Amino acid sequence: MSFPAERLQKWVLQIKGDLTEDGPIARLELYHTVDGEGGERLRVWHAAECGDADADELAQEVWDAAESDAHTHSPGMHQRYVVHAYRDKEDEPDNVCSFNLTSALKNNLLGDSDSPTTRGERGQQMRHTEALHRMLMQLTEVTAGRMSRDLEATRKRADNAETQVRQLYEMQQNLLDRSHERQLEMAKETQNARRMDKFLGLMMSMTPLILSKVLAGGMPISAAMPASAARDTSVKKLLGSLSEQELMGALEKLTPQNQLAFMELYQSFREDAAKEEHQKPEALRHGSQEKEQEASN
């Protein structure tokens, strides 16, 4: 048996000296309490026992009774005990004291176990180390698996993002190429329109000169000759009056096919003019050459 708790000793000493008008403490009752189930009364000490016994002896008796009950319960479990102090013919306790006890572990049938040896301690440490290593390996495998899945998901998202960026870049390049092609076509059309406007402007600027040469005799074209003959004559005079610079400027504004047709027409005119000049008398021939030189100057 062990010594009682200091709290219980002080409480027993207090109630033995507690005298009131109702008289001294008549009895003490010891209860083993269970949470949610009330309590079980273990022993009762009446006035004769309380008065004859010393405070320390009475506290030791209460403690021994509680300790004996604690050994009947599961080893190593905490047990709660309560002591009620009653005065004469009272149903409610005048004072209460509670304390806890822990039942001691029971030894085996062969007595106390031997003290641990160095070999046993080393074996136990090795088993603990193996268990810890196994737990760490399992935790590492779980963590590595989770990280691998997260990395794979991240890689897939990155691949999808790169694919989308590449597709958007290709679409942007296609749109830029189409826009550039449209701009080139518009530039070509604008340039062709400008060339045609310049050519038409050149022809319109030459119209007064052609009319002045045609109407030099003071006779309208329609009265002098038929319309087709007048047109041929006007074309011949126009081609004959063109200088080399004007001829090259007109050719630059024409397409390759129109350039070929224009050169054939101009070559035909030059041949006809050469034939007419060859058929004229020598005096008229020199006069026409002097007029051409004056006109060119």
- Cβ density class 87-120: b for 16+ within 10 Å, e for less: beeeeebeeebebebebeeeeeeeeeeeeeeeee
**Whole-number pLDDT of residue 276:** 73
Q: Above 70 in pLDDT, residue 291?
A: no
Looking at residue 110, its pLDDT comes to 43
**Mean pLDDT in residue range 190-204:** 74
Q: Enumerate the domain spans of the chain.
A: 6-102, 119-205, 219-296
Outline where the chain has alpha helix (H): 6-16, 47-52, 55-70, 118-214, 221-224, 227-241, 244-252, 256-279, 282-296
Q: Percent of the chain having pLDDT more than 90?
A: 16
Question: What's the pTM value of the predicted model, to 2 decimals?
Answer: 0.36
| DSSP labels, 279-292 | HS-HHHHHHHHHHH
CA distance 90 to 93: 7
Query: 257: which 2 tokens?
Result: 């096919």
pLDDT value for 164: 92
112 or 204: which leads in pLDDT? 204
CA 162, distance to chain mean position in Å, is 13
Identify which has the larger pLDDT, 293 or 8.
8
Evaluate whether the domain defined by 6-102 bears CATH number 2.60.40: yes
The pLDDT value recorded for residue 112 is 46
Q: Which of 250, 263, 248 is nearest to 198 (CA)?
A: 250
Per-chain mean pLDDT for the chain:
76
Contacts of 67 (CB under 8 A, 6+ apart): 1, 2, 101
Length of the chain: 297
What's the pLDDT tens digit per position in 1-23?
Answer: 678 888 888 888 888 877 777 77
pLDDT at 245 over 70: yes
How far CA 95 is from CA of 24, 83, 154, in Å, comes to: 12, 8, 72
Q: Which residue has the tokens 């003071």?
A: 218
Please, which residues have CB within 8 angstroms of residue 86's CB and are 6 or more apart in sequence? 25, 26, 27, 28, 29, 92, 93, 94
Q: For the stretch 64-84, what's the b/e string if a residue is b when 16 or more beta carbons lie within 10 angstroms of its beta carbon?
A: ebbbebbeeeeeeeebebbbb
Containing 39, the helix (H) or strand (E) segment is strand 39-45
pLDDT of amino acid 106: 52
